[in-house]
């Protein structure tokens, strides 16, 4: 384990119920990140999606992958930039080629694996994939930018 949820909260501004990354297990600066989210029936989203047939929403999977990408971007920045990260935030610029391959349900552990496709200045383009039990359940190309708050 590289970062638990307490460390992740020092990097990202997200908080319950919208912090969708429980742990970072691998990180190669400027290259890739792996982390996970444990999906629990006690999450508020399941009150409405769907009460008798709980399915974790695809948009939440995309957001979880984006949060992992935010950790990668912040931790890949120079030491000088990292010291100023409290004044920065990551914004989505685009989500392309999103595909949802299999439903995610309570009890699943979503593994997020992202690799850098391109990085120029504050802009990051990432290949993002989500797995449950080594089965690809979602994928997308994400583009984001680190900006001042």
| 114 DSSP β-pair partners | 33, 128
Give the per-residue pLDDT at 78. Answer: 74
Helix (H) or strand (E) holding 72: helix 58-76
Residue 59 tokens, joined = 């948009």
Give the per-residue pLDDT at 82. Answer: 66
Which superfamily does CATH assign the domain made up of 5-148 to? Hotdog Thioesterase (3.10.129.10)
Give the per-residue pLDDT at 149. Answer: 86
**What's the Rg (C-alpha) of the chain?**
15
Instruction: For residue range 138-149, list pLDDT tens digits in order.
Output: 999 999 999 988
Residue 140 tokens, joined = 């997308």
The residues assigned a catalytic role are: 49
Residue 90 tokens, joined = 């990551």
Spell out, as residue ranges, where the chain has pLDDT lower than 70: 79-83
User: d(Cα 15, Cα 9) in Å, to the nearest integer?
Assistant: 7
Instruction: For residue range 100-112, list pLDDT tens digits in order.
Output: 999 999 999 999 9
Give the per-residue pLDDT at 80. Answer: 62
On the CB side of 102, how many CA atoms lie within 13 Å of its CA? 12
């Amino acid at each position: 384990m590289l970062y638990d949820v307490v460390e992740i909260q020092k990097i990202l501004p997200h908080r319950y119920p919208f912090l969708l990354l429980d742990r970072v297990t691998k990180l190669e600066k400027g290259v890739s990140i792996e982390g996970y989210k444990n999906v629990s029936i006690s999450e508020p989203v399941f009150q409405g999606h769907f009460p008798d047939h709980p399915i974790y929403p695809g948009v939440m999977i995309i957001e979880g992958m984006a949060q992992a990408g935010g950790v990668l971007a912040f931790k890949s920045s120079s030491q000088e930039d990292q010291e100023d990260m409290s004044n920065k935030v990551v914004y989505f610029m685009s989500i392309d080629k999103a595909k949802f391959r299999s439903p995610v349900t309570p009890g699943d552990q979503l593994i997020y694996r992202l690799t850098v496709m391109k990085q120029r200045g504050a802009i990051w383009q990432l290949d993002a994939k989500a797995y449950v039990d080594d089965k690809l359940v979602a994928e997308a190309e994400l583009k984001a930018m680190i900006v001042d708050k």
